[in-house]
Structure 1
Amino acid sequence: MLRQIKLFLCAVQFLTRLPAPSFADFQADWITRSARYFPLVGILVGALSAGVLLAAGQLWSGALPALLALAAGVLITGGFHEDGLADTADGLGGGQTPERRLEIMKDSRVGTYGVLALGLALAIKVAALATLPLTTAALALVAAHGAGRTAAVAAMVMQRHVSDPSSAKYKPAPEGVRPSELLIAAVLGLWPLAFLGASGLVGAAVGVSLAAPLAWAARRLIGGYTGDVLGGVEQVFELGVLMGVSAMAVAR
């Protein structure tokens, strides 16, 4: 049990800016083993963002509560996944060879593709949340964050890591996640979708329809995944959940 708590706290350290203790006996393999808890960390981030949404919704209406909630999520994670989405868009959209695409992803500068991808993704999330009743929007945020991290863990299991670990932006990079750990991640990360009923299923379906093509494009263009690709997969799956839930609400 103590080891599992340490792995969860490693996941918190890796994915967020939230305070977490350091461990004298830390081992690099813990980051990979902690991937099973990435969705649980996502639910934590989603819950904190949802809290901001609910509080802001008592003062304002329209898009402002959604925008503040997303801003809170970015502050909590340090834009960790958003950075991955922007770099993935730049790399896959701008490079002509696998080597050049990987080189672009490692560049700290953001190009046109990255700016457009990040700006549009955030704008669509705000618009989707603004169409929902406040409590439904809060639950959708929690579900989207958990499901998005589950999708990233799935990409780690289903594809190979293609970055040079020595030159990765985030060290140690998680690599070698086991199918059994993906199962744990799915159990921990997907349960909030059930509270959305049919809307949750539609949201998950839309998330898969967005994340799967991105993962396939990364496999075709660079041979697998990088940390940036995982961030991109997480973001578009999160986006898909919010769009699906919003579509169901509008249809009613």
Structure 2
Amino acid sequence: MKKELHIFFTCLMFYTRIPCPKNITHHPDYLNKATRYFPFIGWIVGSISFLVFYLFSLFLSIEIAVIVAIIASVLTTGAFHEDGFADVCDGFGGGWTKEKILMIMKDSAIGAYGAIGLVLLFLLKFKLLSESISLFTNNIFTVFLLFISAHSLSRLAAISIIFTHEYSRDDASSKSKPIAKQYTWKEVFGSFFFGLVPLIVFSCFELKFLLVLIPVFITRYFLARYFQKWIDGYTGDCLGATQQVCEVVFYLSILFLWKFI
């Protein structure tokens, strides 16, 4: 039990800015096992984002509450996944070889592709999340499940790439390298359990919401295929980009399912 807590706090410290016990470090062995709790981080980030949204929605408009909720999620993770998305936009937008793409993604400076990508990402996320919430204004618990499901399922889609593809970089320069070394059935089971449970509960209100798995994992498939084609695998930035894109696809799918099915 003590070891599992250590693994969980390692995951929490790596993927968020939430304070953890002082004895927790980025130990490669624990960091590798921490992948089993990555979708559970979505529960935490989604809960914080929802709580902020709910509190602000009591006094201000839904649109403003959504913006503040998005800010809260970014602050909670330290823009960890958004940074990965921006790096992927810069790398794949400006590089034409594996070496060039990886070199650009490693650069901490943000370029035109990354800046444009983030602006469009946040605009789309704001609009889709606002409209998704408007579907469930009469049931605040459903809105809560919407937040949790989006964050956990998108993280499952991202982390599942390490189960099917190889890490692209040959060196250990990336801080994400330890999570790519090895995994066991515990990491696979934990990822899928924590990634799917919120959606299953969410679908109890509308069974058709389970169909959101199809577009999310189709998106995951083509992103992983694209990464494989250009850099022979994935990097931590690729996982962050996958999480962000799949989160947006989740909201888009909910709207589509509600209006057309």
Query: TM-score normalised by the shorter chain: which range applies?
Result: over 0.9
1:30 matched to 2:39: no
Q: Name structure 1 gaps, 5 residues minimum.
A: none
Report 1:225-240 matches (<5 A): 225-240=234-249
Q: Which residue of 2 aligns with 1:176?
A: 181
Following TM superposition, by how much is the alpha carbon of 1:172 offset from its aligned partner in structure 2, in angstroms?
Answer: 5.6
RMSD of aligned residue pairs (Cα, Å): 1.9
Judged with a 3 Å threshold, the aligned counterparts in structure 2 of structure 1 residues 96 and 115 are, in CA distance, closer, same or farther, namely same
Judged with a 3 Å threshold, the aligned counterparts in structure 2 of structure 1 residues 146 and 182 are, in CA distance, closer, same or farther, namely same
Deviations 1:177-227 (A, max 9, x none): 425112221101211111322353233222223222221111100000101
Q: Distance in 2 between matches of 1:229 and 1:25?
A: 24
Scaled by the length of structure 1, the TM-score of the pair is 0.92
In the alignment, is the contact (CA less than 8 A) between 2:14 and 2:26 conserved in 1? Answer: no
Judged with a 3 Å threshold, the aligned counterparts in structure 2 of structure 1 residues 177 and 137 are, in CA distance, closer, same or farther, namely farther
Judged with a 3 Å threshold, the aligned counterparts in structure 2 of structure 1 residues 60 and 151 are, in CA distance, closer, same or farther, namely same
18-27 vs 107-116, which deviates more?
18-27
Judged with a 3 Å threshold, the aligned counterparts in structure 2 of structure 1 residues 177 and 185 are, in CA distance, closer, same or farther, namely farther
Q: Distance in 1 between matches of 2:64 and 2:189?
A: 36
In the alignment, is the contact (CA less than 8 A) between 2:32 and 2:183 conserved in 1? Answer: no
Q: How many residues align?
A: 251
Q: Which residue of 1 aligns with 2:210?
A: 201
Q: Which residue of 1 aligns with 2:69?
A: 69
Following TM superposition, by how much is the alpha carbon of 1:24 offset from its aligned partner in structure 2, in angstroms?
Answer: 7.1
Scaled by the length of structure 2, the TM-score of the pair is 0.89
Q: Which residue of 2 aligns with 1:111?
A: 111
In the alignment, is the contact (CA less than 8 A) between 1:157 and 1:176 conserved in 2? Answer: no
Q: Distance in 2 between matches of 1:24 and 1:13?
A: 8
Judged with a 3 Å threshold, the aligned counterparts in structure 2 of structure 1 residues 24 and 77 are, in CA distance, closer, same or farther, namely closer
In the alignment, is the contact (CA less than 8 A) between 2:35 and 2:159 conserved in 1? Answer: yes
SS at structure 2 position matched to 1:174: helix
- The one-letter amino acid paired with 1:94 is G
Following TM superposition, by how much is the alpha carbon of 1:66 offset from its aligned partner in structure 2, in angstroms?
Answer: 1.1
Q: Which residue of 2 aligns with 1:10?
A: 10
- The one-letter amino acid paired with 2:6 is K
126-135 vs 33-42, which deviates more?
126-135
Aligned partner of 1:142 among 148, 154, 157: 148
Judged with a 3 Å threshold, the aligned counterparts in structure 2 of structure 1 residues 109 and 175 are, in CA distance, closer, same or farther, namely same
Report 1:30-179 matches (<5 A): 30-131=30-131, 132=133, 133-134=136-137, 135=140, 136-168=142-174, 170=175, 173-178=178-183
Judged with a 3 Å threshold, the aligned counterparts in structure 2 of structure 1 residues 241 and 123 are, in CA distance, closer, same or farther, namely same
Judged with a 3 Å threshold, the aligned counterparts in structure 2 of structure 1 residues 70 and 113 are, in CA distance, closer, same or farther, namely same
Judged with a 3 Å threshold, the aligned counterparts in structure 2 of structure 1 residues 159 and 20 are, in CA distance, closer, same or farther, namely same
In the alignment, is the contact (CA less than 8 A) between 1:140 and 1:241 conserved in 2? Answer: no
Following TM superposition, by how much is the alpha carbon of 1:112 offset from its aligned partner in structure 2, in angstroms?
Answer: 2.0
Q: Which residue of 2 aligns with 1:241?
A: 250
Q: Distance in 2 between matches of 1:70 and 1:183?
A: 29
SS at structure 2 position matched to 1:63: helix
Judged with a 3 Å threshold, the aligned counterparts in structure 2 of structure 1 residues 222 and 55 are, in CA distance, closer, same or farther, namely same
Judged with a 3 Å threshold, the aligned counterparts in structure 2 of structure 1 residues 34 and 93 are, in CA distance, closer, same or farther, namely same
Identity of aligned residues (%): 31
Aligned partner of 2:194 among 172, 181, 188: 188
SS at structure 1 position matched to 2:226: helix
Q: Distance in 1 between matches of 2:250 and 2:156?
A: 12
Following TM superposition, by how much is the alpha carbon of 1:115 offset from its aligned partner in structure 2, in angstroms?
Answer: 1.6
In the alignment, is the contact (CA less than 8 A) between 2:50 and 2:147 conserved in 1? Answer: yes
Q: Name structure 2 gaps, 5 residues minimum.
A: none
